[in-house]
């Protein structure tokens, strides 16, 4: 049984930027332990496994693994996998690719912007708002002072299969000083809070952006995604729910690009 491996950069404005992704394509899924071992060997934020032929409804079945576990929903692997399908698997040109992931079907749409550059976007699955976190333990877990937390909106868990904690901060300085400390986070983990933390502030260093954001998560140690699609989807739900902005479209400045 032969499988092909593709490596792509997602959310990238140039080669070797954005968020890297490994996509493994085959007629059948490999055993779970083998897929997990490959994801650990690749050591990217995520590695996806996709069946080379669509199901009867046209959707391509995809499974997503971090170096430590399988996850239900994440953003840049959805976009990167759809791009691989569109360019290497689809028999005819397709501007819409349907993916079957653990939380259901996700449609990825490809279009061109006014400059002729290709854009890809997807409609996120339904989100649910979960438990709220007290500022004090969250600040300690991020190496911050309580005063660095913006209390105009709550610290809250957002879920779509996968869950993340959304943390509003007061300043760009606080955002840049943040580091997720796994030891300090243990108390929150014991209460069931997920070790995925998406922090943001309204200060940016680019007038074209509305927010600056960072995303920390645990996978054999704390990692930081240079760009993350599910985090942006979680944040969008959070901002709308708590009416943080009047606008419905926002530009989020991240470490290596824009979402």
Catalytic residues: 46
For residue 107, give the nearest of 92, 127, 85, 89 by alpha carbon.
85
Six token digits for residue 196: 């995925």
Distances 136 to 144, 147, 178, 213 between C-alpha atoms, Å: 9, 9, 14, 20
Torsion angle (degrees, nearest 10) of CA 171, 175, 176, 180 = 150
72: left (phi over 0), alpha (psi -120 to 50) or beta: alpha
Six token digits for residue 36: 């997990």
Angle at 105 between CA 100 and CA 108, to 5 degrees: 95
- Measured N-to-C along each axis, helices 229-241 and 75-84 cross at an angle, to the nearest 10 degrees, of 130
Torsion angle (degrees, nearest 10) of CA 30, 31, 36, 37 = -80
DSSP track, 159-182? EESEEEEEEEBS-HHHHHH----H
What's the distance, Cα to Cα, between the start and end of the chain in Å? Answer: 37
């Amino acid at each position: 049984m032969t499988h092909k491996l593709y490596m792509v950069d997602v959310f990238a404005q140039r080669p070797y930027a954005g968020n890297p992704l490994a996509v493994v394509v085959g007629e059948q899924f490999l055993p779970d332990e083998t897929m997990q071992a490959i994801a650990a060997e690749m050591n990217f934020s995520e590695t996806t496994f996709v069946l080379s032929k669509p199901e009867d409804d046209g959707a391509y079945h995809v499974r997503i693994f971090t170096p430590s576990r399988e996850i239900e929903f994440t953003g840049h692997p959805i976009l990167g996998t759809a791009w691989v399908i569109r360019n290497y698997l689809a028999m005819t040109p397709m501007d819409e690719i349907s993916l079957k992931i653990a939380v259901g079907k996700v449609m990825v749409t490809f279009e061109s912007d006014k400059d002729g550059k290709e854009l890809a976007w997807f409609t996120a699955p339904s989100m649910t708002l979960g438990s709220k976190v007290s500022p004090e333990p969250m600040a300690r877990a991020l190496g911050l002072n309580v005063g660095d937390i913006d209390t105009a909106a709550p610290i809250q868990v957002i879920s779509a299969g996968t869950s993340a904690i959304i943390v509003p901060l007061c300043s760009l300085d606080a955002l840049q000083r943040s580091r997720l400390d796994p030891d300090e986070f243990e108390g929150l983990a014991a209460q069931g809070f997920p070790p995925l933390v998406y922090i943001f502030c309204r200060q940016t260093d680019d007038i074209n952006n509305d927010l600056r954001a960072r995303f920390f998560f645990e996978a054999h140690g704390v990692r930081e995604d240079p760009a993350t699609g599910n985090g942006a989807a979680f944040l969008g739900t959070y901002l709308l729910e708590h009416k943080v902005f009047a606008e419905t479209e926002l530009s989020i400045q991240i470490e290596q690009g824009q979402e």
